[in-house]
């Protein structure tokens, strides 16, 4: 099967073509991601997420050369986004911890509050419908609404509605700890 025919069949979601496509590129893309992230699980996640996005959105390439370049660029960009998002989360958590320590005055109290809020927040997030939960988790990883919409193949309006509904549910169920939960979710700018 030539490259053009393979890509046409891949875009029509032909399972045999997808198996060939997946086997042809997975290992090399995984090793490329591993060189960037230096973490097997993270590299595996990045490549799997790329293949899911390609399944949902199709493959836009003319032939094998442009396809390989597109796939490697996509993996590189996804790896860099993951690194950037992890850095943002680390910075957000550091700022939150500093603020809590200053207000609470005791590290032990701040730590106990943090652990309880995180436990309750994660417990409530698991109660959300799968689509809403997925959008919220992607947002917590630092993805913008546009990035989430593009990756999931949905409209930005749907992303905003689902995030609003998730936040409303969490706010209704977090009680007084909602303010701290907001810092964990996306920072104080997103209070409802």
**What are the 10-residue block averages of pLDDT along the chain, 192 residues in total?**
76 88 91 92 93 84 70 92 85 77 62 74 88 89 91 93 89 75 55 36
With beta carbons less than 8 A apart as the criterion, state whether 67 and 3 touch: yes
Distances (CA, A) of 180 to 97, 113, 121, 170, 186: 10, 9, 10, 12, 10
Has this prediction a pTM greater than 0.85?
no
pLDDT confidence of residue 154: 94
Which alpha helices (DSSP H) does 12-155 contain, by range? 15-37, 40-57, 64-104, 107-125, 130-140, 145-152
Task: Give the C-alpha separation, 136 to 186, whole Å.
Answer: 10
Task: Give the C-alpha separation, 176 to 192, whole Å.
Answer: 13
pLDDT confidence of residue 45: 93
pLDDT confidence of residue 186: 56
Q: What contacts 16, CB < 8 A, 6 or more positions away?
A: 9
């Amino acid at each position: 099967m030539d490259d053009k025919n393979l890509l046409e069949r891949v875009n029509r979601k032909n399972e045999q073509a997808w198996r060939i496509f997946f086997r042809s590129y997975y290992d090399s893309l995984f090793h490329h991601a591993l060189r960037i992230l230096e973490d097997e699980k993270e590299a595996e996640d990045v490549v799997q997420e790329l293949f899911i996005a390609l399944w949902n959105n199709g493959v836009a390439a003319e032939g094998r050369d442009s396809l390989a370049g597109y796939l490697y660029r996509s993996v590189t960009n996804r790896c860099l986004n993951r690194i950037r998002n992890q850095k943002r989360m680390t910075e957000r958590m550091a700022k939150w911890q500093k603020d809590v320590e200053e207000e609470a005055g005791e590290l032990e109290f701040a730590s106990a509050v943090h652990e309880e809020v995180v436990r309750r927040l994660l417990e409530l997030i698991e109660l959300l419908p799968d689509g809403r939960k997925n959008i919220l988790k992607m947002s917590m990883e630092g993805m913008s609404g546009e990035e989430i919409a593009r990756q999931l193949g949905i409209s930005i309006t749907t992303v905003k509605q689902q995030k609003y509904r998730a936040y409303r549910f969490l706010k209704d169920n977090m009680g007084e700890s909602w303010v701290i939960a907001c810092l964990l979710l996306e920072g104080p700018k997103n209070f409802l």
